Amino acid sequence: MSIYYISILFNGLGAALLSIISWRKKGGGEVYRNFSYLLLVTASFYLTLFGMQFVSNSLANAFFARFLMAWMIVLPFFTIRSVMIFLGKRIAHKKRCIAILILVAIYLIANFYGLFIESVGPKLGFANWPLASANFEYYNIFFFALMAYAFYMLYLSYSQAYIAVKQRIRYSVIAIFVFYISLIIDLYLWHDVSIPPFGNLIMNALFLLVFYFLLSKRIIDFKLAIRKSTVTVSSLLLMFVAIIGARFVLARFILDDTYWDDYALLVLAILIYPILKERLFKVANRFFFTSLYDPGTVITKFNKNLRSIIEIDEIFKLLDKTFSRTFHNKSFGLLFYDSADKKYSISYNSGFDIYSDVEFESDSMLFRKFIEQDKVIIMSKLLKDIQFQGRKMVKIFEHFGIELVIPLVIKDRVLGVIVVTGKKSGDAYNKEDIGVLDVISSQATVAIDNALKYEEIKKFKFKLEREVKRSTQELRVVNEELKRVDADKTGFISIASHQLRTPLTVIKGYASMLIEDNFGKLEETTTKAMKKVFISSERLIELVEDLLDISRIESGRQTYQFKEGQLEDLIDSMIDSLAMSAESKKVKLIWEKPKKPLPSIKLDKEKLRQSCMNLIENAIKYTSKAERSDACVKVTIEENEKKKILVVKVKDNGLGITQSDMKNLFTKFYRGHDRSIAATEGTGLGLYIAKQIVEEHGGSVEVKSAGEGKGAEFIFWIPIYNNK
C-alpha cells in the first residue's frame, strides 16, 4: 500500500473525527453544525475514494465513481453555505442559496446518468481511479464559479470587519484555499494528466495543523472526542464493508448490471448506520472503555430531569437510571440516616440481595471522618487503611461489593448515603467519575430534602383536610340547627305580630275617639293620659308592621306590585306630612323638587314610599337630637344619564355616624353605640327594611358621614324604566 493510500485514509478519518468534534462543540450553534456537515461530506469523499481501491468488479466501480462524484458536487454547496453562515448572511442570501441548491440537484441528476465520469481504471499505482468525461468541464465551471463567489463574499466582509473578525476571515480564506488547491491537484489525474495526487499530502498537513490547534488551545475534551470518534469511525467502516460486500454478492450472483440497486444500498446504509453505531457504543462501554460519557451532558441531563420531579421515589429511580447508564455499575442503593437512633435504613435497593427492612448501626469513625465531612468513601482505598480494617460497617460494605459510599449532606445535616458497587467492566472509578458523582449527589441531596419536606406537607395537608372535613360537618349540623331556630323565631314573630296588631288597632281607635270627645267630654288630665296611650299604641303598631315586614322578607313571602311611575311625585306626596313632623321637632325639611319631569321607573308605590319614609324620618329624628339652631334635612333627586339611574339623597346636619357604626348600620335590630343615638327611640329595623325594598327595585343604598357631630347623607338609586 503506497503512501497515497494511507494519506487518503488519513484524510477520511481525520475529516470524520473533526466533523464529530464540531458537531459536539458546546455553544457553537449553526456555524459549527454546518461546518460539521462540510467535514462529513469531505470524509465521505475520501473514504469512498479509499474504498473503491479494493473493488475489482466493474459495476461496483461505476457505483463508487458516481458516489464519489456526488460528494464532489455537494462539497461546494456546503462551502458556500458555511461561508454565508460564518459571515451572518444566510438570511440575506437565502434566495441565492436556494438557487445554488437547485443547481446542485440538477448536477446530481446528471451524475445519476453518468455524464461526468467516463470510466474507472488503474492510474499511477492506484487500482481504480475515475476518469473524467468531456462533460466534466461543466462541473469545473460550476465548481470555480461557486469558489469565486465564496472568496468574493469573504473579501467584501473583510474590508468592513473589525480587527478580530478580520483575523478569523484570513484564517478561513487560507483554510478554504489550501483545501480546494489540494482537491484541484488531485483532479489532474481525473483528466488523465499524469501528476501524482500529492494534494492528499497537503490535506494531511492541513488536518494535522487543525488537530494541533485544537490540542494546544484546549478547545475540546480530546480524550472524550477520541473515544467517541473511534466508535463513530468504526461504525462507518463496518457499514462500508457491509455495503461493499452486499454490492459484490448482488453483482456476482443475483442482479444484472443496473444502477438502481446501488441507490437501494445507499438508502440501506443510511438506515443501518444509527443502529450499528448504538450497538458499537454498548460493546465499547461493556468491554473497552471505563466510561464512555460526556460529564457535562450527564450532569445537564440529570439536572433537567430532576427539575420536573418532586416525588421522592421518582428521584431514587432517576439516580439509579443515571448511575446505571453512565457508570454501568452492578448495583445501586440509598440508605437514610436516623440521627436519633444513629442507624441507617434501606430506602431504595436495586440489585442488592438484602431485605428492605434491615437496619445498620452507624460507624462513629466513618461518620466523623467521611460522612459528616461530605467526603466520598472509596472502598479500595479504605480497605488499605489499617485503622478501618475489621470494623463492622466496613465489613458490611465489603460483603455486598460496595465500591463507593457517597454522603448526602445538606447544611451540616446528614440525610443518608448512596452506595454503589463496581462497574460491570471491572474498571475502577477514576477522578472524572468521582467528580461527576459528587455534582450529581449534591443536586440529588437538595431534591431529596425538598421531597421529604413535600411528603411532610402532604401528610399535614391530609390531616388538615380530615380535621376541616370533621369541623365542617359539625358546623353544618350547628348551622342547620341555627336555621331551624331562626325559622322558629321568624314564625313566632309573624304569629305574635298578627295577634298584636288587631288589639293594638282597637286600642288606638278607642283612644282616638276618647280624645275627640266621641264618648263625652273628658277632663284635661284624662285627655293628656289618653294622648299618651294613643301615641304609644301608634308606636307599637309601627313596630308590629316592621316585624311583619321582616317576617315576610326573610320567609320570602314579601310580594311586590311593580308599575311604571314617577319617583319625584312619590316623594312629593309625603313631604307635607313629614314637614309637620320635622317642624314639631324644630328641624327644617327642605325638598328640592326637580323643575322638569324625570324619567319614569318601575316601582311598588307602597313599598318604596315606606323605604323613603324610613330614610327621611330617620334623618329628622337624629337631627333633632343634635339640638342645633340651624337643624335641617335636605331631600334631593336627580338623574344620572350616564348610568341611567335616578339618585335620591337625604342629607342632614345632625348627630353624624361613627366609623364603627357605619358598617353595621343596615343590619336588623342594630342600634348605634353612641349614648345619644342609643337613647333615641327606634327598633333598628327601619334602615334594614328600606335597604331590602330598594334592592328589590334593582337599586342600592349607601351612607356617608364625616364622623360624629358632622351629619350624615343617605343615598339610594333606582334604575330608570325602559319601556322599549
Residue 136 and residue 232 in one domain = no
Task: Give residue 479's pLDDT.
Answer: 84
Q: What is the mean pLDDT of residues 328-353?
A: 90
Cα(329)–Cα(349) distance, rounded to whole angstroms? 13
Task: Give residue 371's pLDDT.
Answer: 87
Residue 110 and residue 132 in one domain = yes
Burial class (CB in 10 A: 0-12, 13-18, 19+), 447: buried
Task: Give residue 237's pLDDT.
Answer: 76
Residue 340 and residue 231 in one domain = no
In this structure, is residue 426 part of a structural domain? yes
In this structure, is residue 380 part of a structural domain? yes
Task: Give residue 710's pLDDT.
Answer: 87
In this structure, is residue 161 part of a structural domain? yes
DSSP string, 30-77: HHHHHHHHHHHHHHHHHHHHHHGGG---HHHHHHHHHHHHHHHHHHHH
Give the range among 21-25, 50-54, 540-544 with minimum mean pLDDT.
540-544
The residue from 187, 217, 247 where one domain ends is 217
Residue 242 and residue 275 in one domain = yes
User: Residue 342 region, left (φ>0) first, then alpha (ψ -120 to 50), else beta?
Assistant: left
Residue 186 and residue 311 in one domain = no
Phi, psi of 502 (to 5 degrees): -65, -55
Phi, psi of 129 (to 5 degrees): -135, 135
Give the range among 60-69, 95-104, 404-413, 527-536 with minimum mean pLDDT.
527-536
Count of structural domains within the chain? 4
Q: Which residues make beta-bridge pairs with 718?
A: 646
CATH number for the domain harbouring residue 340: 3.30.450.40
DSSP string, 200-226: HHHHHHHHHHHHHHHHHHT-S-HHHHH
Task: Give the model's confidence band at 552: pLDDT under 50 very low, under 70 low, under 90 confident, else very high.
Answer: low
Q: What is the mean pLDDT of residues 40-56?
A: 87
In this structure, is residue 506 part of a structural domain? no
Write out the residue range of the structural domain in which residue 253 sits: 221-289
Cα(200)–Cα(121) distance, rounded to whole angstroms? 19
Residue 257 and residue 180 in one domain = no
Q: What is the mean pLDDT of residues 545-574?
A: 79
Q: What is the mean pLDDT of residues 67-88?
A: 87
Residue 204 and residue 318 in one domain = no
Task: Give the model's confidence band at 289: pLDDT under 50 very low, under 70 low, under 90 confident, else very high.
Answer: very low
Task: Give the model's confidence band at 284: pLDDT under 50 very low, under 70 low, under 90 confident, else very high.
Answer: low
The residue from 450, 477, 496 where one domain ends is 450
The residue from 176, 197, 217 where one domain ends is 217
Task: Give the model's confidence band at 543: pLDDT under 50 very low, under 70 low, under 90 confident, else very high.
Answer: low
Q: What is the mean pLDDT of residues 342-362?
A: 88
Task: Give the model's confidence band at 308: pLDDT under 50 very low, under 70 low, under 90 confident, else very high.
Answer: confident
Task: Give the model's confidence band at 701: pLDDT under 50 very low, under 70 low, under 90 confident, else very high.
Answer: very high
Task: Give the model's confidence band at 568: pLDDT under 50 very low, under 70 low, under 90 confident, else very high.
Answer: very high
Task: Give residue 317's pLDDT.
Answer: 92
Instruction: Answer yes or no: is pLDDT of 651 > 60.
Output: yes
Task: Give residue 648's pLDDT.
Answer: 94
Q: What is the mean pLDDT of residues 127-154?
A: 88
Instruction: Answer yes or no: is pLDDT of 223 > 90.
Output: no
Residue 23 and residue 144 in one domain = yes
Task: Give residue 407's pLDDT.
Answer: 93
Higher pLDDT, 566 or 245: 566
In this structure, is residue 474 part of a structural domain? no
Task: Give residue 652's pLDDT.
Answer: 92
Task: Give the model's confidence band at 497: pLDDT under 50 very low, under 70 low, under 90 confident, else very high.
Answer: low
Query: Tens digits of per-residue pLDDT, 621-641?
Result: 888 776 778 889 999 999 998
In this structure, is residue 675 part of a structural domain? yes
Q: What is the pTM of this model?
A: 0.38
Task: Give the model's confidence band at 676: pLDDT under 50 very low, under 70 low, under 90 confident, else very high.
Answer: very low
CA 207 to chain centre: 46
Q: What is the mean pLDDT of residues 34-48?
A: 87
Residue 211 and residue 231 in one domain = no
Residue 263 and residue 342 in one domain = no
Instruction: Answer yes or no: is pLDDT of 711 > 80.
Output: yes
In this structure, is residue 524 part of a structural domain? no
Residue 66 and residue 205 in one domain = yes
- The secondary structure of residue 92, as a DSSP letter, is T
In this structure, is residue 280 part of a structural domain? yes
Residue 313 and residue 275 in one domain = no
Task: Give residue 541's pLDDT.
Answer: 66
Query: Tens digits of per-residue pLDDT, 441-463?
Result: 999 999 999 888 888 888 888 88
